[in-house]
Amino acid sequence: MAHPEFVPYAALILRLSLAALFFAHAWLKIAVFTPAGSVKYFQALGLPGFFAYITMAGELAVGAGLFFGVLTRLAALAGIPIIAGTIVMVHGKKGWLFANEGGGWEFPAFWIVALAVQALLGGGAWALGPMFGVDW
């Protein structure tokens, strides 16, 4: 039996969980690997080094949009190409299971699905976007 009154809270839980993941991945690149190390890693993947900075900024922006519930749908949709990029550039060639050495593409694929669900649900409970008239 469905309980539509719980949908806003389900969207809130999903939104905050996704925000935490984006912040954690940005933090890893900034504080653990350092921006310079992240640039070198991106270059080792065959990407221009500045993509590391774009990715870090994107992860922080998507995380903030999701955390605060401002332009939640747009933030969720903007996160999809970031995560799809990890499948194409890193995890795709490591097989399906994320338990594989170097991590497969199972987890990023699920992350994309969760972002799509968030985009469909919107911000949910306690989203700040509607307070500022930016509820998209």
pTM of the model as a whole:
0.95
Q: Which amino acid is at 41?
A: Y
- Does some domain include residue 94? yes
Number of domains comprising the chain: 1
- Does some domain include residue 86? yes
Measured between alpha carbons, how far is 15 from 68 in angstroms, rounded to an integer?
9
Contact criterion met (CB below 8 Å) for 61 and 75? yes
Q: Which has the closest alpha carbon to 114: 62, 53, 61? A: 62
pLDDT in tens, the chain (136 residues): 789 999 999 999 999 999 999 999 999 999 999 999 999 999 999 999 999 999 999 999 999 999 999 999 999 999 999 999 999 999 999 999 988 998 899 999 999 999 999 999 999 999 999 999 988 7
What is the span of the domain harbouring residue 78?
7-125
- Does some domain include residue 130? no
Contact criterion met (CB below 8 Å) for 119 and 112? no
How far does CA 4 lie from the centroid of its chain? 26
Q: Which has the closest alpha carbon to 114: 14, 4, 13, 2? A: 14
